[in-house]
Structure 1
Amino acid sequence: MTQPQFSLAYLTVLNTPPPEMTYMASRAGYDFVSLRPIYMGLPGEPNFSLAKNKVLLRDTKTALKDTGLQLLDIELARIADGIDPSQYEPEMEVAAELGGRHVLSSIWTDNKAEAIEKFAKLCDLAAQYGLTVELEYVPIASVSNLAGVMDVLNTVNKANAGLMIDIHHFHRAHDTVEDLKKVPKEWFRFLHLCDAPGVIPSDRDEMVRIVREARSYVGEGGIDVASIINSIPQVPYSIELPNKRQSELLGYEEFARRCLVTAKEYFAKHPRQEKVNSY
């Protein structure tokens, strides 16, 4: 069994510019970096567009070259009302130029027909640049569980479309490892790794708070992470573990390092057992 590979995800070191994030990931011991060049227009969100900011692109290229890290994925190509997927194309082109592999997407419209049409278009755009599109479900989004993603992926039937499981979202959606047996193994290309309290909040605001700023180091929450990992093929693990308290206490770089150390310690204590279906 090959050693697991890890990427540093944007939300773990929120608002860190791509070049700085790349150097930080390298110093902390990661294999990949997962960037957010797609500006989402959220309150207080910095715009790290690599397609529009040529200096930022140049510095990011230099950082990747200096460190030898690879770009795993870019985010977040949301499917939502009023958004044309073609607006993501410039960032996909740059991602391909940087050697990126995947585009992360999620669906935030309740108009199913429109969601299917836009997601299919996103996949076709990404295919031009040799990129895959991984659809992530989020319990607070329109497509909120594994069954919903499976429905979309089976409907669009695109060769470069896949599923991105987030350990937190998987648990919060009440999905089970038995559900993973229904998923074609080729749909798995990377995974968001974290832990979280085992008790699922009934209050939406509290769920959102944990999602955004209170996830747990792997092995220090209440989720059976190993059973999920063992139920899918081995893929790169992008550590998406926002924790406001820990990152403020330690500083982003030490926090990112601690996220990786605890993940590796967990994997050492829970050796991978192959239980992957042969769908």
Structure 2
Amino acid sequence: MTRPIGLAHLSALHLPPPELVEAAADCGFTSIGTRVHPATTSETRYPMAAGSPMSAQTLARLEDTGVSVFDVEVFTLDGMRNRGEWMPVLEAGAALGARVLNVIGGDDDRHRLTDSLAALVRDAHEFGITASIEPISYQKVDTFHAAAAVAEQTGCGIMLDVLHFVRAGGTVGDLAAAPPGAVQVIQLCDGPAAVPHLEAPPRMPLGQDTNGSDRQIESRAKRQVPGDGAFPLIEILAALPDVPVSVEVPDVAFVESHGITEHLHRLMTATQQLITTADTERTEAIR
């Protein structure tokens, strides 16, 4: 295996960060992404401010297990939030040794968005963190091309969530649009070719919103294990051979019926197999 495999918090969002570290370590993940700021207005917030008891507990588990924090999430630039709100998020990430901050472009004023993001990029740099835009198919920055343009303007990184990449109509050829080295991580999952019609689970981890939207329900509650769906995962991995992977597969119903340990083990096994296949095909293509 040629690249590290991390675990995105959304795969096990009901686990507080200290427990997420242990669960990730038990299943062989080398890093985690962890939520230090809520993604939706209804969401319960983990008390992960720098210096908080939960942050200290997380650091202790990281030291004990050897797992690292790759990224922290999630900060939405919506036209109203500013430096006073993103600085505590950066401080929380820096306390954990995070390398990346997940940023969502939720502002329909593109000029204001790029100004805010450029300022966030500068502040994040002071903490050793790369502020990275994640194109999301139901947000204002929705396509990879849009994210690449924003990265060109602001110097931010890009988080490539393959679900939203596919749902926004992305193709593997689009990946060449990004500035060199901009893609910081591939958030790996799978899914059917078309957006499925889904019912929202009765209980969402941390009380997340889904708004009855098939895309949001799929994104937050029902993704498929890598290799089980129709996404061009082998091709994406081949196009970005040196980019780390973070497995982002929330499956609320499966976790409730089978438990989190079985869920994470199947994610690791499937991802290892997928990466091995991608590496083998790439090696043979080079020969």
TM over 0.5: yes
Once the two structures are superposed, the pairs formed by residues 1-279 of structure 1 within 5 Å of their partners are 3-40=2-39, 42-43=41-42, 45-51=43-49, 54-156=52-154, 158=155, 161-200=156-195, 205-271=213-279, 273-274=281-282
SS in 1 for 2:173: helix
CA deviation string 1:180-224 (max 9, x = no partner):
122233112211010011124599822222111111001101111
Q: Which amino acid aligns with 2:73?
A: E
The answer to whether the 8 Å contact 1:79/1:85 transfers is: no
Mapped to 1, the partners of 2:169 and 2:263 lie a distance apart of 29
CA 1:272–1:73: 2 relative to 1, 3 Å: farther
More displaced 10-residue stretch of structure 1: 195-204 or 88-97: 195-204
Shift of 1:88: 2.0
Counterpart AA for 1:198 = A
What is the letter of the counterpart of residue 87 of structure 1? E
1:116-151 residue CA offsets vs partner (Å, 9 max, x unmatched): 111111111101111111111001000100111122
**Does structure 2 retain, via aligned residues, the 8 Å contact 1:33–1:69?**
yes
Structure 1 residue runs of 5 or longer lacking an equivalent are: none
Task: Please tell me whether the aligned partners of residues 132 and 159 of structure 2 are also in contact (alpha carbons under 8 angstroms).
Answer: yes
Question: Which segment is superposed worse, 142-151 or 32-41?
Answer: 32-41
CA distance in 2, matches of 1:202, 1:22: 33
Equivalent residues of 2:187, 2:246 under 8 A apart: yes
For residues 264 and 87 of structure 2, the distance between their equivalents in structure 1, rounded to whole angstroms, comes to: 30
Q: Following TM superposition, where does structure 1 have runs of at least 4 consecutive aligned residues deviating by more than 6 angstroms?
A: none
Q: Deviations over 1:87-127 (max 9, x none)?
A: 12123123223221111111111111111111111111101
Q: Which runs of 5+ in 2 are unaligned?
A: 199-211
Partner of 2:208: none
TM-score, reference length from structure 2: 0.88
Amino acid at match of 1:209: I
Percent identity reads 25
Q: 1:140 to 1:206 in 2, by over 3 A?
A: same
Question: 2: distance between equivalents of 1:248 and 1:201?
Answer: 21
Q: Shift in Å at residue 46 of structure 1?
A: 2.5
Q: Is the 8 A contact 1:38 1:88 kept in 2?
A: no
Equivalences, count: 270
Q: Distance in 2 between matches of 1:19 and 1:202?
A: 34
* 1:40 positional shift: 4.1
- Give the 3-state SS of the residue equivalent to 2:239 in structure 1: coil
Give the direction of change, closer, same or farther, for the CA distance of 1:94–1:205 in structure 2 (3 Å limit): closer
The residue matched to 1:261 in structure 2 has which SS?
Answer: helix
Specify the code of the residue in structure 2 equivalent to 1:258: R
